[in-house]
A and B are shown apart, each in its own frame.
Chain A
Amino acid sequence: MSIFEYNGSAVVAMVGKNCFAIASDRRLGVQLQTIATDFQRVFKIHDKLYIGLSGLATDAQTLHQRLVFRHKLYQLREERDMKPQTFASLVSALLYEKRFGPYFCQPVIAGLGDDNEPFICTMDCLGAKELAKDFVVSGTSSESLYGACESMYKPNMEPEELFETISQALNSSVDRDCLAGWGGYVLIVTPTEVKEHVIKGRMD
C-alpha cells in the first residue's frame, strides 16, 4: 500500500447558494487496523475559511499547525483575515517548498470571499491548484467520491439540501472503501452561521 493509503481518509467540499459545505470521514487507521473513530481532518483557519487535509495524518496535523501560524502572522501584519484565494496560494507555495521531500497530504480548501462568494479548491501533494465551481474531493475514496458527487450535485442548493447531498455522497463513497469511513463530519458555512454535524455511518 502506498504512503497515501497508510492512514486512510476521505474529504469533500461542495458549493451551494451563498454557502459551502466541507466534510470528511472520521477514521484514523494504521494500514488495516482502525485506531480511532473521531479523528479530525477539517480544520478552521478563520470563521469563513476551512481546510480539509487528506493523506498521511501526521503531515495533515503538522501542515495545519504551520498554516495556522502563518495565518496568525498575516492577521498581525494586515489586521484582517486572509482571503480564500490568497490562502490557497499560500498553501500551494508551502507545499512546493518541499518539492523534493513533500508533505504526503492533499488539501481541500473551502471559504467565503469578501462578497460572500463561495470558493473551493484542491491541490495535489506538490501544490498544483485545481479550482472548481461545483465540488472537490480527495483521499483514498476519491474515485468513488467523484462518481457520487457528479451524480448527486446540483448547482445553487440551499444549505439544508447541500447538507443532505454532501452527507449522502460521503457515506455512499466511503462504504466502498476499506480505509475510510467509521462516521462522518460535515460543516455547512453560510455568511451568518456555521453548523457542524457528526453523521452516523457504517462502522465497518
Chain B
Amino acid sequence: MAMMKLDMSALETNFAAPAIDDCDGTYFSADAADVPSMVFPTCADFDGFQAATKDMVKNKKGTTTLAFIFDKGVIVAADSRASMGGYISSQTVRKIIEINPYMLGTMAGGAADCQFWHRNLGNKCRLHELSNKRRISIAGASKLLANILYSYRGMGLSIGTMIAGWDEKGPGLYYVDSEGARLVGNRFSVGSGSLYAYGILDEGYRFNMSIEEAGELARQAIYGATFRDAASGGCVSVYHVGPDGWKKLSGDDVGELHYHYYPVQKTPVEQEMTDAPSTSA
C-alpha cells in the first residue's frame, strides 16, 4: 500500500528572495539555509543596523493579555492600550486577532509584527484546509507560527502571543513567542501586566465554571492588571471559544469598570452646619 504523502507545498513561504546580488560575504545567502527570507537592507554595517532597528521597535510588551482553558472551552481576554514610553498612543487597540472563525491569537509586543504574522498564519491555515480537506489543529497552527518565528530569531521581532482555539481534540491553548518558545498549557498571561493578572486569575480559577463566571474572572484579572500596571488600560475585551467557534462576550471600558467594582462611598456627614433659626424682630 503506497504511503499517502501530505501535500505540504502550500505551506512553503515564498517571500521575495533577498535582493543582495552583490553579496559581500558578511551575511549568509538564503538559498543555502533554506530559510524563508525577506529582503535585507543594503548597508555597510548590517549587524549594527539590525541592532539599531531592534532598539527602535522595542516595545517591551506593555500590555496585558490572558487565556485559559476550562470545561466549556477557552476564554481569551486582553486590554487595549498602546504606549510609547510614557505617552499613551491609543486606548482602542484590538489585541485579540481573529485568525479564523475557530481560532484566536493575542497580541503582545510589536503591533505590526503581531498583526502581520497572525494574518500570515491565517493564510497558511486556510491553505492547509484547502489542500487537506480538514481544518488544521491548534497544535499544528501554533507549530507553523513557532517555526517561522524561530527562523527570524535574533532579528528583532517582538511577539508574545497565545494561539487559542477549538479543534477535533477539544480546546487548545499554546504560548508562542519571538524567541522561538512554544509551550502548551492551561493558563497563560503575557505582557507587562501579566503578573498582576496571574494573581487574580490563579486565585479564582476552577476547571468547572459557567461561561459567565469564566468571563467575569478574565474581566477582573485584566481590570486588576490595568489598575496596577501603567502600560495597560483602555477597554477589556473577553472572548470565548467553544465547539462552534469564538464569540465575543464583552468589551468594557476600564474607567467605568473601576467604579462598578468600587462605587464611590458617600462620606458620612458627622456635623452639619445649618442656618440659625431666624428670630423675628
- List the interface of chain A (C-beta within 8 A of B): 1, 5, 8, 29, 31-34, 140, 175-179, 200-204
Is there contact, CB below 8 Å, between A200 and B231? no
Question: Which bracket fits the contact residues of B?
Answer: 20 to 34
A175 to B86, CA, bound (A): 11
Q: How far is the CB of A203 from chain B (nearest CB, A)?
A: 4
B229: which A residues are within 8 A, CB to CB? 32-34
Among candidates A5, A31, A203, A204, residue contacting B234 with C-beta atoms closer than 8 Å? A204
A contacts with B: majority SS:
loop
Of the residues A33, A179, A200, contact of B259 by C-beta under 8 Å: A200
Q: Are A202 and B254 in contact (CB under 8 A)?
A: yes
Contact between chains at B86 and A8 (CB < 8 Å): yes
What are 9 A-B pairs at a CB distance below 8 A? Answer: A34-B227, A34-B228, A177-B86, A178-B87, A179-B86, A203-B227, A203-B258, A204-B255, A204-B258
B88 close to A (CB within 8 Å):
yes
Which B residues form the contact surface with A (CB < 8 A)?
Answer: 62, 81, 83, 85-88, 91, 192, 226-234, 254-255, 258-259, 264
Closest B residue to A29 by CB, please name it.
B230
Give CA–CA (A32, B259) in the complex, Å. 22
| Contact of A204 (CB < 8 Å), options: B86, B254, B264 | B254
**Which residues of the other chain, B, contact A201 by a CB distance below 8 angstroms?**
255
Cα A5 to Cα B91 in complex, Å, equals 21
- What residues of A have a CB within 8 angstroms of the CB of B85 in the complex? 1, 5
Query: Which of A1, A175, A177, A204 is the one whose CB lies under 8 Å from B232?
Result: A204
Which residues of chain B are within 8 angstroms of A176 by Cβ–Cβ distance? 87-88
